[in-house]
Amino acid sequence: MTRFGGRRALVTGASRGIGAAIAERLAADGAAVAITARTLDRHDHLAGSLTETRARLERYGGSVATVVADLADDADRARIVPEAADVLGGPIEILVNNAAAAMYQPLADFPLRRRRLIFEVNVHAPLDLAQAVIPAMKEAGEGWIVNLSSGSTRLSDGPPFEAGALGSTIGVYGASKAALNRLTNSLAAELYGTGIRVNSVQPRAAVMSEGADELVGGKLRPDQIESMEEMVEAAVSLCDCPAQVTGGILVSLDLIESAGLRVHGLDGKPLG
């Protein structure tokens, strides 16, 4: 049997970027995968869609469910898990909370509307989806919840401050991801002993997805970038990790090195 054969997974923000890549890797390794995002066929300026991701996943022969939903809308996201489970034929066993709202601008005039949107998508939606999958995971005695975080949670040393290429403009986004990390750790502690593992993982360096390229393209040195395959390898390792691996706030390349992981392509074949 393949690595995730017989497992059902849900990946948010899967129309492009890291979410689409994680979904493909899970499908390549045998999982039945539900993908969700707002973009079914075409985004107004970014490449990628659920239709394109679905086509990539279907090449591996497993079941694929597509759920179009806006994670900023609490009523909309409430139907994601039930619809995914219905199409895949059973409860979700692996939840990957990848979707994120990223808007960068100085804090002195950062609008409340944008702040609320960022926290709605980056904090409330992952917890709502986790709450939706937990009952079935508890009944089964196992489950995996993986939250995608960010290095923007790190504080800037100073004064004088070294705030990086984006400076303070990344403050609200970073605060939302710091909140997600805290919820990850607390939920893991709360669920410890049930067999449900809850972890977060963030890139050590930037992963140049379509969205990242739009926001920071051309602003980073080569040593500030890591490959999509490395980020996916780290994330997928937490989708079938043992029960004692829970509550971690992990960094992609550090995890790969400490666990001695071999990096694979999105098709599941070893690289190099």
> Which residues participate in catalysis according to the annotation?
173
CA–CA distance from 67 to each of 3, 116, 119, 162 (Å)? 24, 24, 22, 41
Which residue did the predictor score with more confidence, 221 or 153? 153
pLDDT tens digits along 82-102: 999 999 999 999 999 999 999
pLDDT tens digits along 148-197: 999 999 998 889 988 777 889 999 999 999 999 999 999 999 999 999 99
**Is it the case that residue 206 has pLDDT exceeding 60?**
yes
Say how many residues make up the chain: 272
> What was the pLDDT predicted at 216?
52
Measured between its terminal Cα atoms, the distance across the chain in Å is 24
Tell me the torsion sign for CA atoms 246, 152, 120, 86. negative
- In 3-state terms, what secondary structure has residue 27? helix
Q: Are 166 and 106 in contact (CB under 8 A)?
A: no
CATH number of 8-99+126-152+181-259: 3.40.50.720
The three-point CA angle 230-233-239 to 5° equals 150
When the pLDDT of each residue in the chain is averaged and rounded to a whole number, the result is: 93
Task: Outline where 36-191 has alpha helix (H).
Answer: 50-58, 74-77, 80-88, 112-119, 125-140, 171-191
CA–CA distance from 73 to each of 49, 70, 139 (Å)? 19, 6, 28
> What was the pLDDT predicted at 166?
83
